[in-house]
Structure 1
Amino acid sequence: MKLSHVNKTFGSNTVLKDINLDFPKGKVTVLVGPSGSGKSTILRSLNLLETPEAGTYEFDDIKIDFAAGVKKDDLFNIRKKTGMVFQSYNLFPHLTVLQNIIEGPTQVLKQDKATAEKYAHELLEKVGLADKADAYPSELSGGQAQRVAIARSLAMKPEYILLDEPTSALDPELELGVLKVLLQIASEHQSMVVVTHNMAFAKKVADKIVFVEDGNILYEGDSETFFSKDNGNERIQKFISAMTFSDL
């Protein structure tokens, strides 16, 4: 998965400026940076929820030239290869947890219901919600709903899972439960791209850190170097201090 020379504007505001990034398979890439920096726009471009005006997007044998537009077949195939998890869960309120998870596999992948349900129960076990299959979203806590959203994404067996601030709406105790699930998934070498403000989680889960500010990539590399006090980048040091309250 690779972006090359990608530019994106909203009105007169250029939010991505000649972005060049690759996202290694089997690894976790974490996007960090101040609010409004462009990191969520990068993530949403990978799922084609946003369409940049210029640049290219390569994913396996798919190559998209944004200036020429996105073909329907490419859109469909990219969406099949990527699972998106939002901060607001986006579960169908009229469906049970089990029905939410099997909706994609049965409707999009055309799996038979029995196969989809078997895998859904396995995923609910994985995310610690085996007893919630028949519950409705309104009966779940925020943390439980987010874990269902993660299970729903995994049910499609995507090559990459894209997570946009998946715990920002949760209190710390509920957030911890979701982060433990994501760490477990990462340990199984599931390719992931995560936007987060949680520096402790980023430090623990990231194989690769990307620091975005004002539509530019200021750092792209390993987690250890990024969090090192000797990294030599004053802007990054200031950001980490602010996010971890180390200067309080």
Structure 2
Amino acid sequence: MQVKHLNKAYGNKQVLKDVSVEFPAGQTTVLIGPSGSGKSTILRSLNLLVTPDNGTFDFNDHHVDFSQPISRKEMLEIRKDTGMVFQEYNLFPNKTVLGNVIEGPTQVLKQDKATAIKNAHEWLKKVGLDDKANAYPNELSGGQAQRVAIARAMAMEPEYLLLDEPTSALDPELELSVLKVLLALAKEQQSMVIVTHNMMFAQKVADKIVFVEDGEILYDGEAQAFFDRENQTPRMRQFIDSIMMADL
């Protein structure tokens, strides 16, 4: 999966400026940067929730030229292979946990219900919530709801899992429960692209770091090198130190 020469403006605000990034299969790419830097816009472009003004997107057999109209068929095909998890859980409040997880596979993938239920239980076990299968979203904690959202996305068998600040609304203890699930997926070499402000988590989970500021890529490379202080530019060091409160 890769994007080339993405540009995106909202009115007079240029959000992306000639952005080109590759997202390797079987690896976890973490997008970091200050608030409003454009990292979420890049992520959402991968699921076509945001349409850049121009540039290209290549994913498997799909080649999207953003300067041209995108067909609904191609959009749906790309979204089927790119599961999205937001900071808001977006669970259906009138459906049980199990009902939420099987909704996509039965309605979009056209799986038979028995298969969808079997797979849903497997994913709920992986996120530690199979005992909550018959509960409703309002009976869950924030961390539990987010883990259900991850199970729901993975039940769609996406090639890439895209996560937009999935723990930013959670307190630290609940955040940890979600991060453990994502770390387990990374160890299984699930292809993931994650936007996060949690540098400790990024350091543990990332194969690749993309540092975005003011709509431009300031770093695109191996995570280990990014966190090695000898390799850091003054701006990279300043950002990491501020997020990790090194000067407090």
TM-score range, shorter chain: over 0.9
1:128-207 mapped onto 2 (5 Å cutoff): 128-207=128-207
Q: Does the Cα contact within 8 Å between 2:2 and 2:22 map onto a contact in 1?
A: yes
Structure 2 partner of 1:25: 25
Change (3 A) 1:176 1:232: closer
Question: Which of structure 1's runs of 4+ aligned residues deviate more than 3 A?
Answer: none
Q: Helix, strand or coil: the match of 1:67?
A: coil
Matched, 1:68 2:68: yes
Q: Deviations over 1:53-93 (max 9, x none)?
A: 10000000100000012111210111011000000000000
Q: Secondary structure at the match of 2:48?
A: coil
Amino acid across the alignment from 2:141:
S
d(CA) in 1 for partners of 2:189 and 2:74? 25
* Separation (CA, whole Å) in 1 of partners of 2:205 and 2:115: 31
| Deviation, structure 1 residue 192 | 0.2
TM-score, structure 2 as length reference: 0.99
Q: Percent identity?
A: 67
2-structure distance, mates of 1:225, 1:187: 20
1:209 aligns with 2:209: yes
Q: Could you tell me which amino acid in structure 1 is paired with residue 142 of structure 2?
A: G
Q: What is the TM-score normalised by the length of structure 1?
A: 0.99
Report the secondary structure of 1:230's partner residue: helix
Provide the secondary structure at the position in 1 that maps to 2:67: helix
Query: Secondary structure in 2 aligned to 1:217?
Result: strand
User: 1:10: which partner in 2?
Assistant: 10
The residue type equivalent to 2:9 in the other structure is T
TM superposition shift of 1:32: 0.2
Distance in structure 2 (CA, Å) of the matches to 1:234 and 1:70: 41
Structure 2 gap ranges (5+): none
- Which secondary structure state, in structure 2, belongs to the residue aligned with residue 238 of structure 1? helix
AA partner of residue 246 (structure 2): S
* Shift in Å, 1:224: 1.0
Amino acid across the alignment from 2:94: H
Structure 1 counterpart SS, 2:8? strand
Between the two proteins, the alignment pairs up a number of residues equal to 248
Deviation at 1:232, TM superposition (A): 3.8
Counterpart AA for 2:234: E
- For structure 1, the 5+ residue unaligned runs are none
Aligned to 2:44: 44
- Superposed CA RMSD in Å reads 0.5
Distance in 2, matches of 1:123 and 1:72, equals 29
1:225 corresponds to = 225
